[in-house]
Amino acid sequence: MTAENTTPAQAADDLPEQLRIRRDKRARIIDQGGEAYPVALPVTHTVAQVRAGYGHLEPGQETDDVAGVAGRVVFLRNTGKLCFVTLQDGEGNRLQAMLSQAVVGEDALAAFKADVDLGDHLFVHGRIGSSRRGELSVFADSWTLASKSLRPLPVLHKDLSEESRVRQRYVDLIARPAARDMVRLRANVVRSLRENFHRRDFVEIETPMLQTIASGAAARPFTTHMNAYDIELYLRIAPELFLKRAVVGGVERVFEINRNFRNEGADSTHSPEFAMLEAYEAYGDYNTIGALTQNLVQTAALDALGTTLVTLPDGTEYDLGGEWAQVVMYDSLSESLGEQITTETTVEELLGIGARLGLELEHKATNHGKLVETLWEHRVGDHLTAPTFVRDFPVETSPLVRAHRTVPGQVEKWDLYVRGFELATGYSELVDPVIQRDRLEAQALLAAAGDDEAMRLDEDFLVAMEYAMPPSGGMGMGLDRLLMALTGYGIRETILFPLVKPHA
């Protein structure tokens, strides 16, 4: 044995039996002059190509077509002088190979039995045909180990525990079809969104992740430190203020698909890092950007699922298609409460309503807007399942939105609710730099008073706005949440590698 090929004895002693045996097999294969990890293999067909080209074969029908195919071993059946092995590709396509002693020879078959385990990558070469039982197969005339797995596969007929799924997604992807599907579904959704934007002549840009002021949303940021300049930096909580700078500079139809970071709670609808789509359209408003959002979601559903009719894991269905419902926040809240709520309703009255409903609202008592939004979420938002635009928000909670064109005290903002969670939000953007400065200064006062989620004042953003931003519609949509809406899974299932606490 060479030093490179030897597992240190001390480590090997601590290893569970099944891991130790596989390490020993690897070492033995290499010692005997074989390769456990060959650099290249003469692959001529993918598993999918063989299935597509020969799926029609009758049971027992053989061809003279020869293929070299590789895949991960997911089943092994040994009937003595004939072995069956099922190879799986990354998408979950499977193809059987048959190794007969009469074809590969006694030594090659014995080596196959000794060297190949479940989970290994295997290359087989041989004629394509169908077994007597009708299983499409490669009748191997030779085989080669493509990559030796040192760890056993989990049982493939039961799902991994939820913890193992996220901690070892690579295993989850091998074992669970839904995990494989989510990766492709997410990619197809993102592609659909991008292509839709490109068809509309939107320009995709990337704005800073590291920011000296984290603003553009009401959220607590992550902090970090830059050594070269010796300054504290924030991970962005939203791209909004930079996308607006771009609009000021003339990128008048602009979008970004990228990550935001918020240092807050994590649950089935919240992840500390999450993917966000934001888009701004000059000479649009919250109506045009709402229509755009509806089309983006519906087109993504059609492109990725083939339908706007979503079937959830529990079997229930709902439709993302058609014209989405619209409700006005104050009207729907008034209707739900059976009493009129307006921008004139006082904080004391709202607290009284909350108390009658048994809600703890004292920590929200800083202003009218927060109370109205909280009451609305409890009474209306949590129960909205069909996609619904909720329109016209209180001004206090929306410092970046322009005043409603006819209703005093409200702003032209909608939230898009689907299945009880907020999927997207859209504005008629506030472009008056004087009002914008007033709004952010008011937020700064809240921050100074201890509200650590008040929006920060970004002076350079205000200077940019003073160069005049055209009237615009803007929207932001949680990409992970779009996947949730399309699949019914929790946010951590939509993220390939979600943050997981390390074991102690």
Partner RNA sequence: GCCUCGGUAGCUCAGCGGUUAGAGCUGCGGACUUUUAAUCCGUAGGUCCUGGGUUCGAAUCCCAGCCGGGGCACCA
379 binds RNA (CB under 7 A): no
Q: Which residue has tokens 């104050």?
A: 330
Smallest separation (angstroms) from RNA to the CB of 289: 17
Q: Does 217 bind RNA (CB under 7 A)?
A: yes
Residues 322-351 that bind RNA (CB under 7 A): none
| Cα of 58 vs its chain's centroid, Å | 42
Task: Tokens for 425, please give them.
Answer: 């939000």
Q: Which helix (H) or strand (E) holds 480?
A: helix 479-487
d(CA 429, CA 474) in angstroms, rounded, equals: 6
Which range, of 31-39, 191-199, 268-276, 456-464, touches RNA by CB under 7 A?
Answer: 268-276
Residues 373 and 394 sit within 8 Å (Cβ to Cβ)? yes
Report the nearest approach of RNA to the CB of residue 158 (Å): 4
Instruction: Tell me the C-alpha to C-alpha distance, in Å, between residue 250 and each of 247, 292, 475.
Output: 5, 20, 18
Q: Which residues are within 8 A (CB) of 304 and not within 5 positions of it... i.e. 6 or more apart?
A: 185, 188, 189, 192, 486
Q: Does 391 bind RNA (CB under 7 A)?
A: no
| Other CB atoms within 10 Å distance of the CB of residue 91 | 14
Among residues 53, 68, 90, 272, which is the contact residue for RNA, using CB under 7 A?
272
Least distance to RNA, CB of residue 285, Å: 21
The string of DSSP codes covering 274-317 is EEEEEEEEET--HHHHHHHHHHHHHHHHHHHHSSSEEE-TTS-E
| Position among 3, 8, 9, 17 found at the interface with RNA (CB under 7 A) | 17
* Contacts (CB under 7 A) with RNA, residues 278-317: none
Nearest distance in Å: CB 446, RNA: 12
CB contact at 8 A, 134 and 59: yes
DSSP3 helix / strand / coil % (the chain, rounded to 5) = 35, 25, 35
Window 396-425: residues binding RNA (CB under 7 A): 421-422
Q: Which residue in 131, 144, 288, 299 binds RNA (CB under 7 A)?
A: 131
- Of positions 31, 65, 75, 316, contacts RNA by CB under 7 A: 75
* Min CB(351)–RNA separation in Å: 13
Cα-Cα-Cα-Cα dihedral sign, residues 207, 212, 218, 222:
positive
> How does DSSP assign 136-170, residue by residue?
EEEEEEEEEEEE--SSPPPPTTSPPPHHHHHHTHH
Nearest to RNA of 245, 413 (CB atom):
413
Based on the shown chain and the rule CB under 7 A, indicate whether residue 42 belongs to the binding site for RNA. no
Residue 47 beta carbon to RNA: minimum distance, rounded to whole angstroms: 14
| Total residues in contact with RNA, by rule CB under 7 A | 77
Nearer to RNA, 307 or 385 (CB): 385
Quick one: 34 or 272, whose CB is closer to RNA?
272
- Contact between 209 and RNA by CB under 7 A: the answer reads no
Q: Quick one: which of 8, 16, 306, 338 contacts RNA (CB under 7 A)?
A: 16
Select from 130, 137, 141, 136 the least CA-distant residue to 61: 130
Closest approach, Cβ 424 to RNA, in A, equals: 10
Q: Can residue 452 be called a binding residue for RNA (CB under 7 A)?
A: no
Min dist. Cβ of residue 135 to RNA (A): 3
Smallest gap from residue 326 Cβ to RNA (A): 18
Cβ contact 136:54 at 8 Å: yes
The nearer residue to RNA, 233 or 390, going by C-beta atoms, is 390
* Among the residue ranges 4-12, 26-34, 79-87, 293-301, the one whose residues contact RNA (CB under 7 A): 79-87
**Contact, 430 vs 474, CB < 8 A?**
no
CB of 42 to RNA, least distance (A): 24
- Interface with RNA includes 374 (CB under 7 A)? yes
Site for RNA in 143-182 (CB under 7 A): 151-164, 166
Rg (CA), the chain: 29
Check residue 265 for interaction with RNA (CB under 7 A): yes
490 binds RNA (CB under 7 A): yes
Q: Which of residues 83-112 bind RNA (CB under 7 A)?
A: 84, 86, 96, 98, 100-102
DSSP string spanning 108-134?
HHHHHHHH--TT-EEEEEEEEEE-TT-
